[in-house]
């Protein structure tokens, strides 16, 4: 197993997680995944803290609205699951641990977040500004990793929520951060229309070049299942967080499928145990 680990903000592999109007492409940000794969990273996609709290129909909110004790408690629960996965993937040590946040986000910003006063009540135009600082989720995540004695990652904020997001320049900046001499394929077309298709994939498939290439090219977003080797409690929580997101997409009319394999059977059983219908199963190339 690679000893370079990348903690990935959920929406960088699945733009369906964004608040409406903030998508930059239909599904996965494919060149970004390709850079991580080229650099030999094991990718661990984190659950979206906002999706698992308010679902995919949530309104746009500023950092002040998310900075509540209840949301911080929710973030601690999700961060605990990320820490469980990291303990497993870093069990033999880790040469390089990176975190890809999303600058501009009230939750996932690492150098830039948003700020607004007087927000609340009926949604409408309000003043908002971008300010230096971390989103609520990133703050809590770093606290939880420290408390669990895990390494604190090097961070980069991908600017998909910043004005003037320029994919080619942003991928070049990421390539430099990852230590890649050459950028490769460059950027991606900006297409602010979500694909409304989500594929749930085994843990290893996200890091494996070509494993989901057909789905990625067709605009599917990816949701990663947890790795093997977690304790039963940790595996249960991690599957619950995937199921929470997937079920919310389904209830909002998105197409959700699972990539065929032994993990799809395990996940189907998990859904049934929760009293939920399993998802359709697809093979790559369908
Ligand atoms: S930036 Fe963070 S909170 Fe927002 S959609 Fe992406 S993963 Fe979710």
Question: Which residue segment(s) compose the domain that 12 sits in?
Answer: 4-282
CA 231 – ligand 1 centroid, Å: 27
Cα four-point dihedral sign 187, 189, 193, 194 = negative
CA distance 34 to 208: 9
Ligand 1 site, CB within 6 A: 9-11, 17-18, 48-51, 102, 105, 107-108
CA of 50 to the centre of ligand 1 (A): 6
Number of domains within the chain: 1
Contact 71, 263 (CB under 8 A): no
Task: With a cut of 70, list the residues of the chain below it in pLDDT.
Answer: 1-2, 182-185, 285-286
SS3 (DSSP) at 23: coil
Q: What are the tens digits of pLDDT across the range 3-54? A: 999 999 999 999 999 999 999 999 999 999 999 999 999 999 999 999 999 9
């Amino acid at each position: 197993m690679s000893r370079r680990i990348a903690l990935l903000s959920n929406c960088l592999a699945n733009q369906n997680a964004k608040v409406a109007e903030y998508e930059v492409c239909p599904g996965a940000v494919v060149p970004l995944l390709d850079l991580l794969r080229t650099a030999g990273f094991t990718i661990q996609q984190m659950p979206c803290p906002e999706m698992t709290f308010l679902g995919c129909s949530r309104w746009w909110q500023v950092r002040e609205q998310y900075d509540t004790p209840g949301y911080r408690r929710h973030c601690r629960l999700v961060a605990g699951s990320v820490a469980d996965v990291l303990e497993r993937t870093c069990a033999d040590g880790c040469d390089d641990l990176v975190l890809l946040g999303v600058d501009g986000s009230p939750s996932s910003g690492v150098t830039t977040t948003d700020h607004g006063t007087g927000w609340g009540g009926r949604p409408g135009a309000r003043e908002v500004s971008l300010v230096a600082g971390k989103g609520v989720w990133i703050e809590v995540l770093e606290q939880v990793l420290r408390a669990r004695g895990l390494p604190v990652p090097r961070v980069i904020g991908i600017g998909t929520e910043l004005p003037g997001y320029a994919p080619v320049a942003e991928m070049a900046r990421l390539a430099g951060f990852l230590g890649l001499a050459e950028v490769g394929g460059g950027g991606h077309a900006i297409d602010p229309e979500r694909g409304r298709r989500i594929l749930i994939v085994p843990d290893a498939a996200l890091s494996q070049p070509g494993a989901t290439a057909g789905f990625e090219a067709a605009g599917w977003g990816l949701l990663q299942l947890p790795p093997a080797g977690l304790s039963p409690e940790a595996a249960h929580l991690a599957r619950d967080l995937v199921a929470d997101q997937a079920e919310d997409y389904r209830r909002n009319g998105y197409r959700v499928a699972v990539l065929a394999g032994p993990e799809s059977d395990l996940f189907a059983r998990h859904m049934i145990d929760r009293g939920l219908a399993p998802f359709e199963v697809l093979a790559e190339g369908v």
